[in-house]
Amino acid sequence: MDITNRNKLLQYGREVLELELQEAQKLPARLGDDFIKACELILSTKGKVVVSGIGKSGHIGKKIAASFASTGTPSFFMHPSEALHGDLGMVSENDIVVLISYSGRAKEFSLILPILKEMNIAIIAITGSLSSPLAKAADAILDISIEKEACPMGLAPTSSSTNTLLMGDVLAISIMRAKGFKEEDFARSHPAGSLGAKLLNHVKDVMRTGEQVPSVGHRATVLDAMLELSRTGLGLVAVCDEQQHIAGVFTDGDLRRLLLKEGTLHDPIHQVMSKPGYRLPDGWKAIEALKSFNDHNITAAPVVDVNGRLVGALNIHDLHQAGISLNT
């Protein structure tokens, strides 16, 4: 492709962005009483937010419904055509409906609106026509009108669909903030993501247990501890009394320092172990354990329950394998 055509592509792209941004910049000034009412309706509903739209509005409506659902507001998308063939039965009297149509004259909505009105269901309209049948039937109107589409023929929804998406985000995020929705709440609806791993997993969920936990009795020798170090490969051994309370910790580093000081493998472990030794509570969040490892410059630790008894062991590799990271 020659330089002229390359420059034209850049020009086209920049023109689209400039036009859509110009239209989007008009939205903040349009938020007023109707926006507040729309938010209040959603906040007070005892049911779900049902989002519906057809064509490009439908595609964006699916995203808006997903945004509501993932930020603490139960929601689903209902296709207008399917609604007319049975799916309208999914809407209950406790729900609220968000209908999206730029013209406000989608023929499917002309059949749906009377039924919603008969059910006394509140309607929020996202539309570009404030005099349309949809706007007149709505309890709250969110104005997404534009002067010009970015499409040079003015046919393909571009600026208008961008405004629709932005207005949906404005509504969903404002509701989220009003509800006091937190990171932990978000993680519960995204348990497979990195945020879910960081905020939902506790030490007891990712720690090693049973035979994987390196431990010796407080009457053991250095040799016993060394064999346990070799068996588990964790880099430390918990030294416990008869009730499994940790008296101290013996690490690879302790073993090396002992041998350099001409200690022997037959020395009693209680004489050379680190006291009291660092340990992790099993109720801590996994991300707290990782931060603690970094703060103390260690890579592993035994885990204790609320009574101080040994219940597991954890190292930094276990945390990384579970998807726990200090990075966002």
Nearest partner of 140 among 52, 223, 37, judged by Cα: 37
For residue 13, give both structure tokens: 């792209």
For residue 90, give both structure tokens: 């999914």
**How far apart, in whole angstroms, are the C-alpha atoms of residue 16 and residue 12?**
6
Cite the annotated binding site for Zn(2+) by residue number.
79
Nearest partner of 198 among 315, 320, 287, 70, judged by Cα: 287
Q: Is the peptide bond before 157 cis (omega within 30 degrees of 0)?
A: no
Determine how many CB atoms are found less than 10 A away from the CB of residue 95.
21
Cite the annotated binding site by residue number.
79
> Pairing between strand 140-143 and 122-127?
parallel
CB–CB of 102/76 below 8 Å?
no
Q: What are phi and psi of 283, to 5 degrees?
A: -85, -5
Contacts of 315 (CB under 8 A, 6+ apart): 234, 235, 299, 300, 301
CB–CB of 122/96 below 8 Å?
yes
For residue 96, the cross-strand partners are 49, 122
CB–CB of 310/238 below 8 Å?
yes
